[in-house]
Structure 1
Amino acid sequence: MKRVSESTSNHVTICKFRREKSPPGRITVDEQIVRLNEQMDMVLENQKQIIETLRKLTNSGSKADESRESLIEEEELQKFPLTEIEQLDIVEEALNDPDNRYFQTMKDIIKPENKPRPGGLRKHFHLLMKADFFVQFNYDGIHNKYPFKKYKNFNNAIYPFDEAVSIFLVAWRRVSSDKSAKMRAHNGRVWGTLHDGKFKVQSVTEADLEEALDVLDGSFFINESVCIACGINLPHNAQARQELRELCNITAKDGVSLLVKEVATERIVAVSFNKIQYPPAPGEDHFFLKFRNEVAQSPQARRLMDFMIEVDERIDVCAMYNMDCFCELMFLATLPSHERMGLGRTLASYTIELTKELAEGKGLEDIDEQLRSKRPEAVTALWSGSFSQKVGRASNFKVLNSVSYEDFEFEGKRFSERISPLHKTCEHVIYKF
């Protein structure tokens, strides 16, 4: 409310009017203003007293509420790791208040004494939620599972402690790792050498996996055409890149992915993440769709997955070639410092050789135990740029279909508007034995 006059030290001073003596029985405007200001001072003084009284009452009530809440939380905080949906609902509701003690408790679990546990969330998520409870979830709540996307506060509470990954992503990795065969921990089979022994091609092993994934960060995610079209190359879309790293992490467990190492430095300079594909069981989604629905959360990663799924489904290679299993050369990447050295072509050639061995029942000891009964009859790929298309031609892949980037959109722009004009199409290709 705006005062008519100026007030100093609770004394009213009339600044803009000159007092005049009022005629008998009449009150001048000046006198009316003075009276109004005096009444206003009384009102303000009363307000101060009322506010002070309310503040005391509120503080007293808050302390009582805090005391009650503290006792309740003491009981609820003992429920980690969570084992049932009701507990997760309680935590989710409590985390609406950022000062709730659950936040600090979760931080203490993940980073005791503010120091990350060795292995981070991927090895210690079971301290927050039991694995047999977590497997009852997927991201969207499909296939009769709980929707993890519902628990936004629980997810967000983790980000300050481990900003590189989402909680669902890390937990999905851990649980899937516990329930599937792990990659062999040996040095990795050496498939061959090139450039007079300066480089060697070998299988991706658990020991090499993180560095192999880093090659994607340094090349594929920033230079590959569809990654650019979907904004995955942009610095602020780190979650999308992390989700695609997770796709490759799971893919590598098949045991058919390859890498190129610089012999002198043991540095990984090129990778080929390969996946054994086969029709899913009735009622189940195929691998890419399952990952897209249950793990990928970012719109960028989902759009890339949708693109791969759509282009793959335009040609039913299993029906076309009367086969029920093939190896998909999923992501092929070379560090910029080692481009134009034939490393991509070499990885494609050895992927073909590896797949041929599996078709003949050889080398089965190096792959996931659950895949040893499979006999892939071909290698397929999506060559998304003119450079990888040259690799395909040099390796004798056959083009099944070519799609124009004019036909695909993301966030209001055609892929062709974001991708270099050097790369106009994506080719679906096959190498059939």
Structure 2
Amino acid sequence: MNNREYLKTVHLSLLSLRKRTHNLREMEGKIWETSDNGDIEIISLTEKYLNESLELLQNVFFTEEFTATACGVPNDPEAKKEWGEICLAVANEGVSVVAIDRKKDKVAAVAFNKLYQKINSKNSISLYDKCLKSFKNQSAKDLIMCCKQMDNTTDLFDKCGCNCYLELMFLATSPNYKGQRLATKLTNATIELTRQLHQGNNVKKSLNGTMLHNEPRPGAVVAVFTSNISQKLAEKLGFETAACIFYKDMMRNGKSYYELIDKKQEKILIVFKKL
């Protein structure tokens, strides 16, 4: 074998190895995006990364997010624990995505997403209503009431012109990975996942990899962005504003949310992006 044939054989072997590695990772979780240097991949959430993803939400989202802060959740372990039940229920819907540092095999950022379907039955009970009945912790209940208040501000089904939408519900980045645009990549991956479902391509899997039913198909992506940074992200990615709620108009225990949080934050934006 001459040098040219040898190099060709090595090249083909490397290509085959990369393909097998890629296929194994696809089985682990569908790859939606990668970082510029290839070190971080955005994949569908799988059972392997569930606990680490839930831990990241506990340590970052429910510690830093402004409505959670106003409701006293960051300093209340029981409140975080009860909201962890909601996070787990959302994860089981099979539409969440995570950013994985492949060199360290570590969760760098997460986007827990949930599908909402328009139901006309008066007897239907929402996830928030179920949790409001079962939760014992007052801070956890206050945050539920806050979410219900935001939900009642506008009719998102009417705004989006569809009977089903996907909400980007919990978005968080590990402090060790700040500044790498992972929130943008997770949001883009969420939009693409929603588009695939909308087009009838079933990319919805349970945490253990089992395919889930593709119906109903979402017609839009929705998010509730509570910080200046996330609101700039929404504008950059072409989201429209469905409603604006000012922190000074939301109250808890006789104080406005504006008094209870960083006063540089003035409002909450409920945004949507039609497909």
Q: Indicate the TM-score class for this superposition, using the shorter chain for normalisation.
A: 0.7 to 0.9
Q: Does 1:288 align with 2:128?
A: yes
Q: Does 1:230 align with 2:64?
A: no
Equivalent in the alignment of 1:312? 151
The offset of 1:365, in angstroms, is 5.2
The offset of 1:279, in angstroms, is 2.4
Instruction: Describe the SS at the equivalent of 1:242.
Output: helix
Once residues 61 and 176 of structure 2 are traced to their aligned partners in structure 1, the CA distance between those partners, rounded to angstroms, is: 13
Q: Does 1:410 align with 2:249?
A: no
Pairing of 1:246-395 with structure 2 (within 5 A) = 246-280=85-119, 282=121, 283-293=123-133, 295-364=134-203, 366=205, 371-395=213-237
Q: Which runs of 4+ in 1 moved over 6 A?
A: none
Q: For 1:398, give the aligned amino acid.
A: E
Once residues 355 and 325 of structure 1 are traced to their aligned partners in structure 2, the CA distance between those partners, rounded to angstroms, is: 11
Q: Does 1:429 align with 2:271?
A: yes
Aligned positions, number: 245
CA contact (8 A) 1:240 1:298 kept: yes
CA contact (8 A) 1:231 1:300 kept: yes
- Larger Cα Rg: Structure 1 or Structure 2? 1
The offset of 1:241, in angstroms, is 0.3
Once residues 309 and 259 of structure 1 are traced to their aligned partners in structure 2, the CA distance between those partners, rounded to angstroms, is: 26
Once residues 270 and 264 of structure 2 are traced to their aligned partners in structure 1, the CA distance between those partners, rounded to angstroms, is: 18
Once residues 278 and 389 of structure 1 are traced to their aligned partners in structure 2, the CA distance between those partners, rounded to angstroms, is: 25
Instruction: Describe the SS at the equivalent of 1:366.
Output: coil
Q: Which structure carries more relative contact order (alpha carbon 8 Å, separation 6+)?
A: 2
Once residues 296 and 206 of structure 1 are traced to their aligned partners in structure 2, the CA distance between those partners, rounded to angstroms, is: 25
Pairing of 1:58-137 with structure 2 (within 5 A) = none
Once residues 385 and 274 of structure 1 are traced to their aligned partners in structure 2, the CA distance between those partners, rounded to angstroms, is: 18
The offset of 1:206, in angstroms, is 1.6
Once residues 115 and 273 of structure 2 are traced to their aligned partners in structure 1, the CA distance between those partners, rounded to angstroms, is: 14
**TM-score, normalization: structure 2?**
0.84
CA contact (8 A) 1:279 1:286 kept: no
The offset of 1:281, in angstroms, is 6.0
The offset of 1:364, in angstroms, is 4.2
Once residues 342 and 296 of structure 1 are traced to their aligned partners in structure 2, the CA distance between those partners, rounded to angstroms, is: 35
Instruction: Describe the SS at the equivalent of 1:309.
Output: helix
Q: For 1:222, give the aligned amino acid.
A: T
Deviation track 1:98-128 (CA, whole Å, cap 9, x = no partner) reads xxxxxxxxxxxxxxxxxxxxxxxxxxxxxxx
Q: Does 1:208 align with 2:208?
A: no
Q: For 2:129, give the aligned amino acid.
A: L
Q: Flag the 1:281–1:207 CA change in 2: closer, same or farther, 3 A.
A: farther
Q: Flag the 1:349–1:364 CA change in 2: closer, same or farther, 3 A.
A: closer
CA contact (8 A) 2:243 2:269 kept: yes
Q: Flag the 1:354–1:365 CA change in 2: closer, same or farther, 3 A.
A: closer
Unaligned runs of 5+ in 2: 1-26
Q: Flag the 1:268–1:364 CA change in 2: closer, same or farther, 3 A.
A: closer
Richer in strand (by share) = 2
The offset of 1:268, in angstroms, is 0.3
Once residues 241 and 335 of structure 1 are traced to their aligned partners in structure 2, the CA distance between those partners, rounded to angstroms, is: 17
Once residues 277 and 197 of structure 1 are traced to their aligned partners in structure 2, the CA distance between those partners, rounded to angstroms, is: 33
Equivalent in the alignment of 2:35? 194
Instruction: Describe the SS at the equivalent of 1:265.
Output: coil
Name the Cα RMSD after superposition. Answer: 1.6
Instruction: Calculate percent identity across the aligned residue pairs.
Output: 29
Deviation track 1:321-343 (CA, whole Å, cap 9, x = no partner) reads 33110001111011122222211
Deviation track 1:183-220 (CA, whole Å, cap 9, x = no partner) reads xxx51111121131011101111221110001112211
CA contact (8 A) 1:325 1:374 kept: yes
Once residues 267 and 392 of structure 1 are traced to their aligned partners in structure 2, the CA distance between those partners, rounded to angstroms, is: 27
Equivalent in the alignment of 1:218? 59
Once residues 98 and 145 of structure 2 are traced to their aligned partners in structure 1, the CA distance between those partners, rounded to angstroms, is: 26
Q: Flag the 1:339–1:208 CA change in 2: closer, same or farther, 3 A.
A: same
Deviation track 1:69-109 (CA, whole Å, cap 9, x = no partner) reads xxxxxxxxxxxxxxxxxxxxxxxxxxxxxxxxxxxxxxxxx
Once residues 373 and 397 of structure 1 are traced to their aligned partners in structure 2, the CA distance between those partners, rounded to angstroms, is: 24
Once residues 207 and 280 of structure 1 are traced to their aligned partners in structure 2, the CA distance between those partners, rounded to angstroms, is: 33
The offset of 1:369, in angstroms, is 6.2
Q: For 1:303, give the aligned amino acid.
A: D
Q: For 1:225, give the aligned amino acid.
A: F
**TM-score, normalization: structure 1?**
0.54
Q: For 2:56, give the aligned amino acid.
A: V
